[in-house]
């Protein structure tokens, strides 16, 4: 069934142009279609308001439209300070963890449920005999580190996938993590061998980074609310939409 936006049908090219941004999504085609709808609505609204130029690219147009319709103030000093003070484990330098892992890589040919079962069974075996970690890594890991028994060595913040980093750096103690760690690359069995908490950076050194992050987060929330409003006012057929969960402003 074709998807129409205010009586105009989306083309396959409209949707295909959005696919690269959503290939890792659970339903890439649906998310690409949502983005194409929002892009169409955004440009139509910008033209109505007289802020669209023929040579204005869509990303710049989205920012201009958001600034016109839902402006977001920059984060102030007190907001930045509260963010800094409420996160004593963040904004550090020299922080690292030494880890070893076993990667069960997700591929189109391997059903995720079957892969998870193998990973869970392997984790149970290692829990029963922690000394077997290296042999399991050499036999099963899809990471090059498997040849060395799974050792990744010292990992600093920003060097691994965010999902992996979040779990590894927040582990309460050294040792084998009790649950599988799921990332964009697959399922991991992770053991923390050592860690260094580093030193906390002073507020003045990170204030601008915090302000940028808080402003970006506020802009993202404002865009999602405004995009939901655009969708609610439009006549859209051929797709089920509960709201806008595919922001154009990255």
How many Å apart are CA 101 and CA 191, to the nearest integer? 6
Does the global pTM surpass 0.95? no
Residues 14 and 64 reside in one and the same domain = yes
Asked whether residue 242 is domain-assigned, the answer is no
If one counts every other C-beta atom within 10 angstroms of the C-beta of residue 88, the result is 9
Binning pLDDT at 50, 70 and 90, where does residue 54 land?
low
Give domain status of residue 244, yes or no.
no
38 within 8 A of 248, measured Cβ to Cβ: yes
**Minimal CA–CA distance to 180: which of 108, 107, 126, 134?**
126
Mean of per-residue pLDDT scores for the chain: 89
Residues 160 and 175 in one domain: yes
Answer yes or no: is 247 within a domain. Answer: no
The secondary structure of 55-100 as a DSSP string is: T--HHHHHHHHHHHHS--PPP-HHHHHHHHHT-TTSSEES-EEEEE
Task: Specify whether 116 is located in the same domain as 178.
Answer: yes
Q: In angstroms, what CA-CA distances link 82 with 89, 93, 201, 211?
A: 14, 20, 15, 11
Measure the CA–CA gap between 82 and 90, rounded to whole angstroms.
13
Helix (H) or strand (E) holding 200: strand 199-200
Residue 84 lies in a domain: no
Q: 192 and 212: one domain? A: no
pLDDT tens, position by position, 172-215: 778 999 999 999 899 999 999 999 989 999 999 999 999 999 99
Q: Are residues 225 and 143 in the same domain?
A: no
Residues ≥6 apart with Cβ < 8 Å to 81: 203
Q: Do residues 231 and 177 share a domain?
A: no
For residue 207, give the 3-state DSSP assignment: helix
Co-location of 223 and 165 in the same domain = no
pLDDT tens per residue across span 90-100 = 898 999 999 99
Residue 118 reports pLDDT greater than 90 = yes
Residues 71 and 163 in one domain: no
CATH number at residue 140: 3.10.50.40
Residue 64 included in any domain: yes
In-domain check, residue 245: no
| Cα angle, residue 148 at apex, residues 142 and 149 outer, rounded to 5° | 75
* Residue 168 located in a structural domain: yes
Domain that holds residue 225: 4-76+206-237
pLDDT in tens, 156-167: 988 999 999 999
pLDDT at 242 (0 to 100): 60
Q: Are residues 133 and 195 in the same domain?
A: yes
Q: How many domains does the chain have?
A: 2
Q: Is residue 148 domain-resident?
A: yes
Q: Are residues 101 and 68 in the same domain?
A: no
Q: How far apart are CA 141 and CA 188, in angstroms?
A: 9
Tell me what pLDDT residue 53 has. Answer: 66
Instruction: Mark whether 111 and 132 lie in a shared domain.
Output: yes
Residues 195 and 210 in one domain: no
């Amino acid at each position: 069934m074709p998807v129409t936006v205010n009586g105009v049908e989306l083309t396959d090219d409209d949707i295909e142009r959005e696919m690269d941004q959503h290939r890792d999504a659970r339903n890439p085609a649906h998310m690409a279609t949502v983005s194409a709808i929002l892009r169409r609505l955004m440009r139509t609204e910008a033209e109505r308001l007289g802020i669209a130029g023929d040579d204005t690219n869509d990303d710049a147009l989205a920012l201009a439209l958001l600034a016109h319709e839902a402006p977001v103030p920059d984060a102030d000093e007190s907001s930045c300070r509260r963010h800094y003070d409420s996160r004593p484990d963040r904004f550090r330098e020299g922080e690292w963890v030494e880890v070893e892992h076993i990667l069960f890589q997700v591929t189109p040919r391997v059903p995720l449920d079957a892969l998870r079962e193998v990973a869970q069974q392997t984790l149970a075996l290692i829990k029963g005999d922690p000394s077997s970690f290296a042999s399991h890594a050499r036999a099963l890991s899809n990471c090059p580190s498997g040849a060395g028994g799974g050792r990744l060595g010292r990992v600093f913040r920003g060097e691994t996938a965010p999902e992996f980093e979040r779990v590894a750096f927040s582990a309460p103690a050294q040792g084998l993590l009790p649950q599988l760690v799921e990332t964009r690359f697959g399922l991991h069995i992770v053991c923390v061998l050592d860690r260094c908490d580093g030193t906390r950076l002073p507020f003045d050194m990170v204030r601008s980074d915090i302000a940028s992050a808080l402003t970006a987060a506020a802009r993202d929330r404002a865009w999602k609310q405004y995009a939901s409003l655009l969708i609610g006012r439009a006549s859209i057929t051929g797709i089920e939409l509960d709201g806008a969960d595919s922001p154009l402003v990255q």
